[in-house]
Amino acid sequence: MSKLKLHPKQLQAIGYPNTSVISVALSVFEKHYKFTPETEALDLLQNILNQPHDFWTNPVLSKITEKLVERPKPVVEKFDLRPNPLHFNTFGFDNIEKSAIRQLQTAMRLPVSVAGALMPDAHTGYGLPIGGVLATDNAVIPYAVGVDIGCRMSLSVFPIAANEFNKRHKMLENSIMRHTKFGTGEGWKSPEEHAVLESMTFNELPILKNMQFKAARQLGTSGSGNHFVEFGIATFDTEQAAALNLEAGAYIALLSHSGSRGMGATIANHYTQVAMKKRALTGEAKSLAWLNLDEQEGIEYWLGMSLAGEYSAACHETIHRKIAKEIDNQPILRIENHHNFAWKELIDGRAAIVHRKGATPAHAGELGIIPSSMTGKGYIVMGKGEASSLNSAAHGAGRKMSRAQAKESVSHKALNDLLKKHEVTLLGGGLDEAPLAYKDIEEVMQAQRQLVDIMGVFQPRIVRMDDK
């Protein structure tokens, strides 16, 4: 593919003034749009010239608009927090660190907040605590959704009896190694095709105009930290199986956990800064600035967040499809849910935006997955639609140690002994994700009995994580 090479006279021909804007535009396009066809590049340059205000928030193209017109000074609105936080329900209070509770208390002092809840796996996060749920009035808070927009759990149950696991162990292990990639910046040399990559949102949002190629490379990959792809045993008793249209028993299953990769982080970081420049908050609430859904920036963020959620789902779909083909079996049951997202829902009969930061949607009859650790069993659940939790539940066991604490406190021998005891093969991973760094999943499930019904159990056996 030939590189883009524009000339000053081409820009003058479409109306650019013979000033320094031409050299800036040429530099920007040669660096950031070097593989863009010439006609498309000139069309985009024409759009910038005609509607420069549409590109003021674009971190790349705004360099051109600044040379075309004077950027308007942003109007910063200043808001006072409520003197006291609104009431919120906390599930599993005794096992939640006080700093996580304080974080949600801060969020409940925002003038746009209307309701909240804290799940039993809650621990301190960024902006909102992990396990925090926050409902707002016509406002979305990019930092409350977080950088890993649409992070997702996805489960495929295959028609293979659990007693086949040991016979197929090496084949299952090889299939995970062949069809997964982990870590920041990782991608495939030969990207997969998928309808999500053709979304018009890539062209509608200036922030995403040069993200399509990276998104294609990272489709079907996973991040670092607690993201995983694992084979294990899914078990259903007679009543559970009947509700899911299965035969009771134990099956080989595939579970994955990851999000929207670099694209989600780009959207989150950009619109968090946009929100903070529009609305000034004090102290610990500073990063919880919001965008109204009837203003341009709020509409843009919602579009970007929605695309990131679709992209995360496409990543899981790609991983599960490739592995299912490799093992020559199609799933008899697929369950997935996401978190780190915002939904338009009714709270007490009132329209609201519900942010779930590391919390599982649990509306009545809604299926989800709540995993534990690399050796601990997870649970397949059905929501009860509990209003007091804003139709939410935990998204995992929840950390009881920070990553740094886990690395200092847990030895490689202790981790290896646990892996051996539970017959788990670990591919990658590290001490920061050791099972000892997590809360007891049984205590978490006990604390949310009124939120979900248990529909099955998943026990990990082969776990693939980032090995950096």
The answer to whether residue 116 sits within a structural domain is: no
Number of domains comprising the chain: 2
Is 159 found in the same domain as 63?
no
Is 61 found in the same domain as 192?
no
CA-to-CA dists, residue 433 to 28, 49, 193, 226, 235, angstroms: 41, 50, 32, 7, 25
- Reduce the DSSP state of residue 273 to 3 states and report it: helix
45: containing domain: 8-68
Is 180 found in the same domain as 46?
no
Is 35 found in the same domain as 178?
no
Boundary-marking domain end, from 49, 68, 87? 68
Cβ contact 467:428 at 8 Å: yes
**pLDDT tens-digit series, residues 174-217:** 999 999 999 988 899 888 889 999 999 998 888 898 889 899 99
Q: How many CA atoms lie within 13 A of 21 on its CB side?
A: 20
Q: Give the sign of the dihedral formed by CA 394, CA 395, CA 396, CA 399.
A: negative
Is 422 found in the same domain as 278?
yes
Is 450 found in the same domain as 322?
yes
pTM of the model: 0.84
Q: What is the CATH number of the domain that holds 259?
A: 3.90.1860.10
Is 161 found in the same domain as 15?
no
Average pLDDT of the segment spanning 259-270: 94
Is 181 found in the same domain as 51?
no
State the pLDDT at residue 305: 97
**pLDDT tens-digit series, residues 13-35:** 999 999 999 999 999 998 888 88
Torsion region of 58: left, alpha or beta (phi above 0 gives left; psi -120 to 50 gives alpha): beta
> Confidence band (pLDDT; 50, 70, 90) for 36?
confident
% of the chain exceeding 90 in pLDDT: 83
In the predicted structure, residue 60 carries a pLDDT above the cut 90:
no
State the pLDDT at residue 74: 65
The answer to whether residue 28 sits within a structural domain is: yes
Helix (H) or strand (E) holding 241: helix 238-243
| Cα distance between residue 337 and residue 455, in whole Å | 15
Is 255 found in the same domain as 377?
yes
In the predicted structure, residue 75 carries a pLDDT above the cut 80:
no
**pLDDT tens-digit series, residues 438-461:** 999 999 999 999 999 999 999 999
The answer to whether residue 128 sits within a structural domain is: no
Average pLDDT of the segment spanning 373-384: 96
Boundary-marking domain end, from 29, 49, 68? 68
**pLDDT tens-digit series, residues 88-133:** 999 999 999 999 999 999 999 999 999 999 999 999 998 899 999 9
- For 45-72, letters b (16+ CB in 10 Å) and e give beebbeebeebebbebbbbbbebbeeee
Boundary-marking domain end, from 19, 35, 68? 68
**pLDDT tens-digit series, residues 195-207:** 999 999 998 888 8
**pLDDT tens-digit series, residues 145-171:** 999 999 999 999 999 999 999 999 999
In the predicted structure, residue 286 carries a pLDDT above the cut 70:
yes
Cβ burial, residue 271 (10 Å; 0-12/13-18/19+):
buried
